[in-house]
Amino acid sequence: MPINPIRQPALLPIPGQQVVRPMFKSMGIAASGISAQRQRMEVIAQNIANADVTRGPDGQPYKRRDVVLEAATSQNALFNPGNPAAQAMGSSKATGVFGSPAFDVPLTSDGPKAIEVPVIGAQSAGTAPVGGEYGVRVAGIAEDQGEGRLVYEPGHPDANEAGYVRYPDIDTTQELVKLMDAKRIYEANAAVFTTAKSMLRAALDI
């Protein structure tokens, strides 16, 4: 029997079936968490910086903002190679974290935005996973519609006829606690990403 000089690959992917790369998928999930928490920290820092802004461009006090997160799917995950949006971002100039612009999630406009927060139920026995296979993504930035707090300052230029000033509904203590929470989650995802990268490097050295 003649020997084929061209060695055929031992394992070929089944046509129409997605090739699963668990190591790269774990890095993508961790990377999505890093990106989401980075944007969350930026929004929290913006809230703290504007805690005493009584008059914005629209003449109203600053509105507190919150980042709304949701489980990513194969159609909208930033780090899924099959997502056309991720492919388009990856083909542009890499300026983001880890050299990929996909890590730089653009902030939405400063105007109010209605956001439908998804509710993820608990997974029961024998059912398919409810999400998380592609990590997390930022669904948008919600704007607090509260009126804010009133402070008696008759000499303030924005005081009303009774001498009260409307300040943003922002508690800096709570914002700092949220900032610490986002920082811890960011560090946890970074640790997962680093560990997965080390495991992949060790596998390549075998």
pLDDT value of position 176: 96
- Three-state DSSP class for residue 139: strand
Could you tell me what percent of the chain has a pLDDT over 90?
36
Closest CA to 50 of 162, 177, 143: 143
Mean pLDDT of the chain: 74
User: Following DSSP, what letter does each residue of 171-189 receive, concatenated?
Assistant: -HHHHHHHHHHHHHHHHHH
Structure tokens at 42: 């930026």
52-56, 126-130, 145-149, 175-179 — most confident range: 175-179
What are the sequence ranges of the domains in the chain?
22-117+130-145+171-204
Four-residue CA torsion sign, 46, 51, 52, 56: positive
Residues 6+ apart with CB under 8 A from 43: 65, 66, 67, 107, 141
pLDDT tens profile 83-106: 555 555 454 444 433 334 443 444
- 58-82 burial by CB neighbour count: b if 16+ within 10 A, else e? eeebbbbbbbbbbbbeeeebbbbee
User: What residue type is assigned to position 118 of the chain?
Assistant: P
pLDDT tens profile 140-178: 999 988 888 899 999 999 999 999 999 999 999 999 999
